[in-house]
Each structure stands twice: as C-alpha cells, then as structure tokens.
Amino acid sequence: MIGVRKKRRDFSQLSPLGNALAVLLAGGFAFLCVFPFLFVILISFTDEAALARNGYSIFPEKWSLEAYRYIFLTGDQLLRSYGVTILVTVLGTLISLVMISLFSYAVSRRSFKYRNFFAFFAFFTMLFNGGLVPTYIVVTQLLGMNDSLWALIMPMAVNAFYIMIMRTFFILSVPESIIEAGKIDGASEFGVFIRLVLPLSLPGLATIGLFSTLAYWNDWFNALLYIDSPNLVPLQSMLMRIETSMQFLLQNSNNPSVNSGLLQSLPQDTSRMAMVVLATGPIVLAYPFFQRYFVQGLTVGAVKE
C-alpha cells in the first residue's frame, strides 16, 4: 500500500529545481535556528574566565565542566525535579487534550445550539483576566491546591487559544456528512466523537498535544506561585530560581548588605547555558520520537480513509 502512495506522490512531486530551492530556503532557516542552540551547548562547556576574556567563541580557549558541577551540586534535587516535570507534563497534556478536544468538538458542531455562546465564553478569557492576585486566591484558598501537583497542572489545563485552533481543525478535517452518517448508524454523540472524529483529527490533536507538552515542560511560574515544598519543584522552576536569584544578586552587587560575602564566584554565563541544555535537552531529544509517533498516527488515519 505504501508503494502505491509513494508512486502517486512521485507523480505530484515538486520539480527538481523547485525542490532544490525549497531545500535551500527551509534548510537555511533551519540552520539559522539550530546554530544558536549548538552554540549554547558549546558555551556551557567553556571555562567561565575564558568566556569573560574572549566573549562567545566557537573554539573555546579552555573547556570546563564547572557550570554543570555547579548545578549538580543540588544533587538529588535535580533528579526529583526531572521526575516532577515529566509527571506534570504527561498528566497535564492528557488532561488538557481531553478537556480541550471535547470542548472544541462541541463548539465545532453546527447543530450545537449554544456553539456561539460557548465559543465566545472561551474566547473572552483570552483577552480579559483578573490578574495574578485573584487567580492566586482562587487556586490557593478556593480550590486549596496550594503546594500540590494540581496547582502545576490545573491552571494550564485549558487554553482558549488551543480551543479555537482545535475547533478549526475539527471543522476542516471532519465533514458534517461523516457525523450524520455515524448517527444514522445509531452511534451516540460520544461514540461518533471517539470512533469517527478523533481518528480524522489526529494532525490537529498532535499539534495541540505538542503545544501543551511544551507549555507544561517550560512552565516555571505556577511553581513559583504555588509550590513551597522542594519535593514538588519542577525542573524549569528550579533552574529559573537559580538563574533569577543569580541575576538579582548581581544587580544588587552594589548593595552593601548583599555584597558582604554573598557574591561567591558564581559561574554566571556558562551555568546559564548549562541550564538551557539541561532543561531543553531531554524534550528536544524526545521530539523526533513524538514526531514519528504522530506521523504513524496520521498514516493510520489516512489508511482508514
């Protein structure tokens, strides 16, 4: 079957010249995007003093593991934080995929009487918000989520932006006729949704899932607000704490109170880069696997069709 598909694709391929141009353009841009990242890795292994002397260099004068050593000083905290981040990311992505796809499917249905109301209901929250303090009160005092994993998961579980995109994907990739046909066959709304709609919407689901994964992985602010216990601090938050505190102390280095003995020789630049490597390394490495998984999902959907 794959052979057949391929043959058809061949027939529709870009011309060699067009393809070369596209490779050049896309490849050039991709390089522009990857290069700084490689640079980050290089700098993280550079000696801090050499960096201060020569600035950023592709061929560091002296290599060093000091930046990593400094972060690894936190010991098991680092591992625990990885654990928290992974748990929150997986759980959070699942929860938000369920909630978002249900909601956006309903508002994508033309036969849903309240679709405009609920679309507006979601959209309105994209623009208006009550600010930090009221949200903090709801999460800590009303929902009592303070210092629990839920405080890391729930505040990010739904997002009107994702809902609007997902709704468009549903409209685009699921013709109303399929739903009607499913209903005539006697399937319930939920049945139609799970057996007919979801398989057709895999690209959209994969996109929203990816965005959601990244959002959970990169989040540090919720932990800053809601987490006190060191056991529940996620990775980004832990690294962010080190980073902002380093920054804060440096900015206040002229303050007589602060400079009295607090300013040890922190490896500033290099450890900042090392933090980027530690924080994004795992997810970047995992990304191709994600991608393969999603693409497989897509092929399944295509075959069904």
Separation CA 4–CA 189 (nearest Å): 35
Does residue 302 bind another protein (CB under 8 A)? Answer: yes
Judged by CB under 8 A, does residue 82 bind another protein?
A: no
The C-alpha atoms of residue 157 and residue 215 are separated, in whole angstroms, by 10
| Residue corresponding to tokens 């530690």 | 278
Distance CA 77, CA 230 (A): 8
DSSP 182-237: HHHTT--HHHHIIIIIHHHTHHHHHHHHHHHHHHHHH--HHHHHH--SGGG--HHH
Given a contact cutoff of 8 angstroms between Cβ atoms, the answer to whether 245 and 258 are in contact is no
Query: Among residue numbers 223 through 242, which ones bind another protein (CB under 8 A)?
Result: 224-225, 228, 230, 241
- Are 174 and 104 in contact by the 8 Å Cβ rule? The answer is no
- Residue 296 near another protein by CB under 8 A: no
Give the N- to C-terminal CA distance of the chain in Å, as an integer. 13
Binding flag, residue 78, another protein (CB under 8 A) = no
Cα gap 60→52, rounded to integer Å: 11
Instruction: Determine, following the binding rule CB under 8 A, whether residue 65 of this chain makes contact with another protein.
Output: no
Residue 120 as a binder of another protein (CB under 8 A): the answer is yes
Interface mask toward another protein for 124-163; x: CB under 8 A: xxxxxxxxxxxxxxxxxxxx----------xx-xx-xx-x
Closer residue to another protein, CB minimum distance, 99 or 149 = 99
Interface residue with another protein, options 91, 94, 99, 149 (CB under 8 A): 99
Stretch that binds another protein, among 61-69, 80-88, 184-192 (CB under 8 A): 184-192
Q: Does 215 bind another protein (CB under 8 A)?
A: no
Out of 100, 153, 197, 274, the residue judged to bind another protein by CB under 8 A:
100
Residue 304, token pair as written in the block:
């069904």
Q: What is the DSSP string of 59-105?
A: S-SSB--HHHHHHHTTTHHHHHHHHHHHHHHHHHHHHHHHHHHHHHH
Supply the minimum distance, in Å, between the C-beta of residue 93 and another protein: 15
Q: Which of 284, 288, 273, 218 is nearest to 33 (CA)?
A: 284
Q: Which of 42, 78, 123, 147 binds another protein (CB under 8 A)?
A: 123
Here's the x/- map for another protein, 260-279, by CB under 8 A: it reads as: xxxxxx--xx--xx--x--x
Q: Are the beta carbons of 151 and 136 closer than 8 angstroms? A: no
- Report if residue 117 touches another protein, rule: CB under 8 A: yes
How far, rounded to the nearest angstrom, does the alpha carbon of residue 132 sit from its chain's CA centroid?
22
Distance of closest approach, residue 17 Cβ to another protein, in angstroms: 11
For residues 22 and 65, which CB has a smaller minimum distance to another protein in the complex? 22
Q: Report the alpha-carbon distance of residue 28 to residue 38 in Å, rounded.
A: 15
Task: List the one residue from 119, 151, 179, 196 that touches another protein (CB under 8 A).
Answer: 119
| Shorter beta-carbon distance to another protein: residue 13 or 186 | 13
For the segment 42-61, give every residue that binds another protein (CB under 8 A): 48-49, 51-53, 55-56
Whose structure tokens read 């997986």? 90
What mask of x and - would describe binding to another protein in positions 5 to 44, judged by CB under 8 A? Answer: ---x--xxxxx--xx--xx-xxx-xxxxxx-xx-xx----
Q: Which of 86, 147, 178, 189 binds another protein (CB under 8 A)?
A: 189
Can residue 286 be called a binding residue for another protein (CB under 8 A)? no
